[in-house]
Structure 1
Amino acid sequence: MRTLLLVALLVASPLVLAKTECSTADKVQWQDKDNFQQDLKNQGYEIKKFKVTDGNCYEIYGKNKEGKKVEIYFDPVTGKKVKEEID
């Protein structure tokens, strides 16, 4: 049993440490940060924190329109969700 747990941890650990990559496009192609945030607010999101990640993503922490806590990574060029975590 211990061996199985150890193997599972070793396999999963690189996935946990991997950073989310969203875009390789030049930043001049990115959507305007303020307009992007306003569009999200218009869709019902409440943004507590907005940042640009090392993986070239727009990332928000806040709540979705259902009031659930979210952490979402967006492609800054297309605006599409790359990764979403809902509490």
Structure 2
Amino acid sequence: MKLNHALPAILVATAVAAPAMAEPDCAAAAASAQPMWNVVRSFEEAGGVVRTAKVTDEKCYEIYGTRNGRKVEIHFDPATGAELARKED
């Protein structure tokens, strides 16, 4: 019986929990986007190793790789190449 009362609270708590990294929206910047390889090259020149590079649904450039021995997930502005968000493991 007590489980029935706890279940709604658990569902609300999990639904409210934010994702680990909210993805930025780059749709406006996509119109003047530079080639993705420019961002990849800059990442590699800064000591990063690219595992995967892609364009997100929000039109940002996203790189999964390693930098300084740590796994990273980084979102970049496609127009400027500026880093918008980073998640490190």
TM bucket (normalised to shorter chain) is 0.7 to 0.9
Q: Deviations over 1:60-81 (max 9, x none)?
A: 11001x1101111111112222
Could you tell me how far apart the structure 2 residues matched to 1:76 and 1:34 are? 11
Contact 2:29 2:78 in 1 (8 A): no
The one of 16, 20, 33 aligned to 1:11: 16
Aligned equivalents of 2:53, 2:28: Cα separation in 1: 20
Aligned to 2:3: none
Aligned residues: 83
Counterpart-to-counterpart distance in 1, 2:28 and 2:71: 29
Question: Structure 1 regions of 5+ residues with no counterpart?
Answer: none
Q: Give the counterpart of 1:57 among 45, 52, 60.
A: 60
State the distance in 2 between where 1:32 and 1:21 align.
19
TM-score (norm 2): 0.74
Cα distance, 1:9 vs. partner? 1.2
Structure 1 residue 39, shift from structure 2 partner: 1.1
Letter in 2 for 1:72: I
- Cα deviation, 1:40-68, whole Å, max 9, x if unaligned, reads 1111111011000111110011001x110
If the length of structure 1 is used for normalisation, what is the TM-score? 0.76
Q: Which residue of 2 aligns with 1:47?
A: 50
Instruction: Give unpaired runs (5+ residues) of structure 2.
Output: 1-5
User: Larger C-alpha radius of gyration, 1 or 2?
Assistant: 2
Residue identity over aligned pairs, in percent, reads 37
Return the alpha-carbon distance in structure 1 between the equivalents of residues 34 and 42 of structure 2. Answer: 11
